[in-house]
Amino acid sequence: MGAPLQAIASAPMGAEIIDGKAIAAGVRARVAEGVRAFKEQTGRVPGLATLLVGDDPASAVYVAGKHRGCIEVGIEPIDRRLGADAPFEAVAGEIAALNADEQVSGVLMQLPVPAHLDGAALTALIEPAKDVDGLTPVNAGLLSQGAKGAGLRPCTPLGVMELLAAADVVLEGAEAVVVGRSNLFGKPMAQLLLAANSTVTSAHSRTRALPEVCARADVLIAAAGRPRLVTSEHVKPGAVVIDVGMNRLTPQEAGNASGLVGDVDFAAVAPLASAITPVPGGVGPMTIAMLLANTLQAAKRLAGVGA
Ligand SMILES: NC(=O)c1ccc[n+]([C@@H]2O[C@H](COP(=O)([O-])OP(=O)(O)OC[C@H]3O[C@@H](n4cnc5c(N)ncnc54)[C@H](OP(=O)(O)O)[C@@H]3O)[C@@H](O)[C@H]2O)c1
């Protein structure tokens, strides 16, 4: 969809709205087709195992959403749950069993884990070839080494790359600013943009003069978890603005029915930007779509049928 960035940037006013729901539906359709082909080739279906420790209702909702996504594309969801007081060794044992299980193509440790557990240490135990969240040190290392085609990439930054591609945004040589430097999103996002030959700045809570730093960006990606942090003073006219933030306010505070608001002040920024993602309906739908894509990719590599 969409015209190349240069053409969008010269549009007289108003941003192209990048439709994450439609683009995610396209990814899911692509994965469903890939799963059918995989089944024909191998006689098996990919399996995605989720491991949920404890009974956090929000985490249970996220896991259910992932399972629904699996069923839609023909991936087998495998549901593993442990009690909130499960010791580290029990969780580690479950991960080891899933690593060894041939039915399982992808293993996902639902975060956050209860406070007595170390989520990063547990994630690191996932077999890198099955690490469909792309968060193990091995996969993070492969990404930072720029190893093309090797490893699995974290789903949300991968989803942003898919949105940028769908909107025909030219990344080579572009100034990209990523606000946020978490291991989950900001760092891998910066690495993916660097691999696409953008000039990348990682901004964070200690960045001086954040508006000026952001206003350099041709591509501005906001992932700070701060409602409406990015306003018109952060945005160069014609910039592409991607809003990763998912901040839950009351519907009245948020001004929309979902109660979700991003890190970008959409009303102030949309007239300036050449293209922008809404919240909801922008980056959000991409995460599960890319998780399904990663699961298929892992299944193909494990089965030796290419990916
Ligand atoms: N759509 C999705 O599927 C999806 C997926 C992942 C995340 N998210 C959303 O994306 C947002 C970020 O997630 P995360 O996991 O990366 O969060 P996080 O771990 O809390 O990291 C937030 C980052 O933003 C920086 N930051 C905080 N306040 C800032 C400020 N005022 N100015 C500049 N930088 C600031 C922090 O800087 P320091 O490092 O200096 O503390 C940190 O690097 C959240 O709203 C989250 O819900 C959405």
pLDDT at 31: 98
Residue 157 has pLDDT above 60, yes or no: yes
pLDDT at 13: 59
CA 178 to ligand 1 centroid distance, Å: 10
CA distance 121 to 242: 30
Residue 5 has pLDDT above 80, yes or no: no
Residue 3 has pLDDT above 50, yes or no: no
Residue 182 buriedness (CB in 10 A; 0-12 / 13-18 / 19+): middle
- Is residue 188 reached through a cis peptide bond, with omega within 30 degrees of 0 on the bond before it? no
Number of H helices, E strands in the chain: 12, 11
Ligand 1: nearest atom to the Cα of 247: 45
Active site (annotated) includes residue 66? yes
| Other Cβ atoms within 10 Å of 148 Cβ, number | 8
- Is residue 112 reached through a cis peptide bond, with omega within 30 degrees of 0 on the bond before it? yes
The answer to whether 271 and 15 are in contact (CB under 8 A) is yes
Average pLDDT for 222-241: 98
Q: Would you say the CB of residue 201 lies under 6 angstroms from ligand 1? A: no
Give the list of residues 6+ apart from residue 212 with CB closer than 8 angstroms, or none. Answer: none
Active site (annotated) includes residue 148? no
Average pLDDT for 25-46: 98
pLDDT at 149: 82
Mean pLDDT taken over the chain: 95
| Tens digit of each residue's pLDDT (9 = 90 or more) over 42-58 | 999 999 999 999 999 99
Lowest-confidence pick of 8-22, 31-45, 274-288: 8-22
Residue 7 has pLDDT above 50, yes or no: no
Length of the chain: 307
| Tens digit of each residue's pLDDT (9 = 90 or more) over 263-302 | 999 999 999 999 999 999 999 999 999 999 999 999 999 9
**12 confidence band (pLDDT: 50, 70, 90):** very low
Residue 8 has pLDDT above 70, yes or no: no
pLDDT at 10: 41
Residues pairing with 240 in the sheet: 219, 275
Residue 4 has pLDDT above 60, yes or no: no
pLDDT at 54: 97
The percentage of residues in the chain with a pLDDT greater than 70, rounded to a whole number, is 95
Active site (annotated) includes residue 55? no
Q: Would you say the CB of residue 158 lies under 6 angstroms from ligand 1? A: no
- What per-residue string of b and e applies to 205-240 under the rule 16 or more CB within 10 Å gives b? eeeeebeebbbebbbbbbbbbebbbbebebbbebbb
pLDDT at 305: 94
Q: Would the CA dihedral through 171, 284, 202, 10 be positive or negative? A: positive
| Tens digit of each residue's pLDDT (9 = 90 or more) over 126-138 | 999 999 999 999 9
Q: Please state the separation of Cα 203 from the chain's center in Å.
A: 18
CA distance 258 to 223: 19
| Tens digit of each residue's pLDDT (9 = 90 or more) over 202-222 | 999 999 999 999 999 999 999
Phi, psi torsion values for 70, nearest 5 degrees: -60, -50
User: Which residue in the list 19, 130, 131, 133 is annotated as catalytic?
Assistant: 133
pLDDT at 306: 77
Q: Would you say the CB of residue 182 lies under 6 angstroms from ligand 1? A: yes
CA 301 to ligand 1 centroid distance, Å: 32
Residue 11 has pLDDT above 50, yes or no: no
More confident residue, 203 or 4: 203
Q: Please state the separation of Cα 124 from the chain's center in Å.
A: 19
Ligand 1: nearest atom to the Cα of 159: 3
The answer to whether 222 and 241 are in contact (CB under 8 A) is yes
- What per-residue string of b and e applies to 36-59 under the rule 16 or more CB within 10 Å gives b? eebeeeeeebbbbbbbbbbebeeb
Residue with structure tokens 């200690």? Answer: 206
